[in-house]
Amino acid sequence: MKTLALLPAGVNEAFDLVERFDETLLHGFARLGDEHRARLEPLAGVFAGSPLGPVVAEAFAAVGRNEFVARYFLALASARVALLGAAHDALVAQAHEALGRPSPTGEEPPPLPMGRSATALASVQQWLTELAIAGFKHLEETTVAPFAATLENLQADPELTGLASLLTGFSNELLRSMPASRQPELPGFRWGDLWSASMVRTQQLPGASTFREAEGVFTPLGLDLQSHDNFACALLYGVLDDGEARTVRIPFAGYKVDVIAGAGVWDLFEPYSEPILAALEAHKTLRIAKAELRANGDLILRSPPKAGSRADPFAAADRLSPLPCPSPMLRHPVHIAEAVRLPSDHGLPLAMERLPGGTELTESVIHESPELLGLLRVDRGGWRVQPLCVRVQKDFLMSGEGLAGVRRKFKHRPLEVLKERSSRLLRRKA
């Protein structure tokens, strides 16, 4: 993987421009001085001659005159998203060239009309505008907390689940950091990501991805679990053979409270959790029926899968394929996840911080393994590998295979306890 030792030309420059913008978000547009304006000028210039050029130039000129209108901040957020989208495309092209894979195409579904969501989305824009004007470093609880009412409306709208989950995590993280002025260091890049991603998603609702019915044999490659206190998202990567083998991911997501954590998160995903975690534990394939294979590579289950024969993820990895290209709004280096099979001497650093707590894949196990399956990831420092599965003697060890055993040891499941307590409260009120 020597060809991944350096990032493509222009990627570090894009990161630098984004960092300059994030410094302004931290400082606050209401507090812009000549130094901040000078550092932002190259960001405006880089879009000259592009379709975004005129609106970005207009936005920079307006905020320079202290004209703080939501549409100007929407233009600035779009510029930040576009920069990181370009970096994403360059990085994906580099990875595919290194792996000898064709560059995938993607289908962009038409956006949905805002309709009844327009008012809520306008409220989101206004709140995000207020954050940018004040600056993250100067936020107080009185600026963040009033957004709770709008957030509740977003969470109740199924069309806005993606945006609502994003804003739930963002607003809660901001509240935990209040007052921001007392924090020794703030995560400027991550908050810039959350701010800009939320802002551009208020412009239009993502369209529904096309799909076709799929059934066949799914060989798991490993589990990726990401969550915050109020939302959890699990992605099971694998190879689906339905007459043609391809890499897919089975997604699970749901709202939660902070006491639901670790293996308890899987109570949110029933009735699928039990058969899937049992198959991971027993190193079995899964027989999929009547599922939806979407154009973005997601395999949506409509009925619980059944355990199949003995799984061989390393044999299945010979048929790995690139996932379809995501929509422009989702193209960000942090979302790159290219499934790969690598020898132990691949030379790339391991992204151990991406592994869930209590994982079976420790660094010592990984380093002793002759080969691994993982996801190519990237950050400001360069390419890294998130392990999913490693060869162990004549067998393998996979991320997520120990969850079934942990769940069996539960004396009380947090979700069941919460349901029982809620039921008691309702009975008392009745």
Q: Render pLDDT for 41-99 as a digit per residue (tens, 0 to 9).
A: 888 889 988 999 999 999 999 998 999 999 999 999 999 999 999 999 999 999 999 99
pLDDT confidence tier of residue 213, bands split at 50, 70 and 90: very high
pLDDT confidence tier of residue 283, bands split at 50, 70 and 90: very high
Q: Among candidates 41, 40, 37, 43, which has minimal Cα distance to 14?
A: 43
Choose between 391 and 259: higher pLDDT: 391
Backbone phi and psi for residue 268, each to the nearest 5 degrees, phi listed first? -70, -20
Average pLDDT score over the chain: 89
Lowest mean pLDDT among 46-50, 325-329, 344-348, 419-423: 419-423
Q: Is the pLDDT reported for residue 426 higher than 60? A: no
Q: What is the pLDDT of residues 352-369, one digit of tens each?
A: 988 887 788 999 999 999
pLDDT confidence tier of residue 259, bands split at 50, 70 and 90: confident
Cα(325)–Cα(357) distance, integer angstroms: 30
Tokens 């799909």 label which residue?
A: 211
Q: What is the pLDDT of residues 290-340, one digit of tens each?
A: 999 998 899 999 999 999 999 999 999 999 999 988 888 889 999 999 999
* pTM of the predicted protein model: 0.89
Q: Is the pLDDT reported for residue 144 higher than 90? A: yes
Cα(296)–Cα(105) distance, integer angstroms: 10
Q: What is the pLDDT of residues 364-389, one digit of tens each?
A: 999 999 999 999 999 877 999 999 99
Position 208 scores a pLDDT of: 64
Cα(118)–Cα(400) distance, integer angstroms: 40
Pairing state between β 306-310 and 382-392: unpaired
Encode 402-425: b = buried (16+ Cβ within 10 Å), e = exposed. bbbeebeeeeeebbeeeeeeeeee
- Sign of the Cα torsion 272, 278, 279, 280 reads positive
Q: If you count them, how many residues does the chain have?
A: 430
Q: Is the pLDDT reported for residue 409 higher than 90? A: no
